[in-house]
A and B are shown apart, each in its own frame.
Chain A
Amino acid sequence: MLNVGQINEGFVLDHIKAGKSMTIYHDLGLDKLDSCVAIIKNARSNKLGKKDIIKVECPIDMLDLDILGFIDHSITINIIKDGEITSKKKLSLPKQITNVIRCHNPRCITSIEQELKQVFILTDPKKEIYRCKYCEEKYSGKR
């Protein structure tokens, strides 16, 4: 059993697909935080076989969980306060994401007006399709 020190306030992101933790580390902006972050790769998991886990010690309103829902909504978030898990949160696909991904349509207005927010809207939750708010082009990049 691997033991990583307990955190007092923050998150434990569990059930991350094995190998995805570093992507999430960067997408959540954890590299920019002056907080204690532990990344556990390839931990044993009954459900997934192997999984990654991230522990972050930070105030709980500091992270944009919508981004996480977009990257991988099967991740479980354990919210820690006073050293205890106070709640578990299941992620769902966010209805809208802002400034997470970019529209690659060369005909989109965002291609010439760089200061516009990059907004994508979930148009088909079943097929997990996001479209650019402006030109409605489907996002077909990597998540």
Chain B
Amino acid sequence: MNIYAQDVSKTYMARGGSTFIALENFTHCFKSGQFTCILGPSGCGKSTMAQIVGGIEPADGGTVRIESSDGTPSGMKLGSASVMVWQNQNLFPWRTILENVTFGPEMAGMSRAEREEKASRLINSVGLRGFEKHYPTQLSGGMRQRAALARALMMDRPILLMDEPFGALDAQTKIVMQEELLRIFEETRKTVIFVTHSIDEAILLGDEVIVMTARPGRIKEVIPIDLPRPRSFDLVNTQEFGRLFDKAFHLIRDEVTKAMAEMNQVSHS
């Protein structure tokens, strides 16, 4: 499944009637089975883009089409081809981990035995065996994110959207989760759109990194990441990683400075 986004724009209404452009003329083809990271300063519209692809937010302009790998229209509607993993997980607090993971199939009417068997396989594969009966508040942030990942994988959708999923985790947990995600990506080869503001995360995980400008959010540059897979965190010590990091860093430094200047303006006005 390729995702073809053409001239996608989104404008938000701020309080007091003023508008700001979150996303402007975003044109990109997310290729099937590729891991694409969208990297940018806060407020650059990168989360908005993921939500538009997921059919969660409507775009104001432009189109997003889901095409088969050979470029013909797939006929799949936005939203039915993808599933989102959220930064704050959005697990249902009144459901146990098992009940959270089986939520989607339960809504779709899959039998309890079938969905629970499938869920227990996924719960094992994300390393949560033994926590099926726990409630989300009883787990750490990293474990909650594992559960959220299992819940998304349960949906068997070809496109996985991830909106800063490790943004709130501590540094060590984050590394472990990144390696887990690399492993799961190897196994499933889904089309992944991964939103992040962390440069090394984007390079470690992605096949390509889309660097965004600050408001309005536009594509500044697309950096191909030709690092071999399977990858592990050891990659960050290689020369090639360092070169890519420098490149991305110089692209994004100006944007972060711009975004910060704009924030100051907003807070002083």
Genuine A/B complex: no
